[in-house]
Amino acid sequence: MTPSGRQLDRLAELEEERRYLLRSLTDLEEEHEAGDVDDLDYRTLRDAYTVRAADVLRQIEAGRGELPQRAPRRWGRLVAVTAAVVVGSVAVGLILAGAWGERSAGQEITGLTPGDESRILLTNARDAMGQGDFQLANSLFGRVIEMERDRGRENAEALAYFGWTLALLTRQNPDDPNAADRLDAARLALGQAAEIEPDYADPQCFLAIIEFQFRDDAEAALPHIEKCEASNPPAEVRSLVSNFADQIRAAAS
């Protein structure tokens, strides 16, 4: 087997271990909420899983760095193709989340350093969201918020995507008796993210989607989509944002 083949096999093993650890974290959260695991065991196991997941992700990042570099992803083409086959504001939000969610270490809003546990969890949360596991993503974004607050700081990205994934979960279960309260909590988290980073486009656009599509209130959505446009969204999604803004303006007029 070639060296690159062995590296790929090892990366596959590490990815499988990462998935196991993330699923273990989710199961642990559910068992703790159900009262099957006491607080002390919960904290001990959670911290152990987090440390192991951080170590595994460091190994994955190091392994990927040793492989031949691939051409950068062409988000513009992805957005165009996806927009052509999906409809609705939820789809718009998922496309935008994909385009904005993959930041390199030097582009982190909060400036987290490589190896920082919060950054590790953010990466895992984005992966879970990209795979459509909004429950796991929401749990991981919530964990980042908790970790950062323990350090005396706020993380706008974690707040924004905690709110967005919570809104998506609520949308998936509209008959939940707590759906309205959960959607309000999602809006609150997004509003907090927007206050922390006023020039951060993501929460503004997600708020616009929630107000327009989930709550059928174009007038409430209008200021958010305008702030989203003014926040200089990436060029590859700018026309998508503009088209969505036109729909809101037409409905609000």
Q: pLDDT tens across 92-151, in order?
A: 555 556 555 444 333 444 444 444 677 778 878 887 877 778 888 888 888 888 888 888
**Is the pTM here over 0.85, yes or no?**
no
Amino acid identity of 143? Answer: R
What distance in Å separates the CA atoms of residue 242 and residue 220, rounded to the nearest whole number? 17
DSSP 1-60: --HHHHHHHHHHHHHHHHHHHHHHHHHHHHHHHTTSS-HHHHHHHHHHHHHHHHHHHHHH
List Cα–Cα distances, 225 to 156, 182, 198, 213, 244, in angstroms.
18, 22, 13, 12, 8
Per-residue model confidence as pLDDT tens digits over 64-82? 666 555 444 333 433 333 3
What phi, psi does 177 have (nearest 5°)? -60, -20
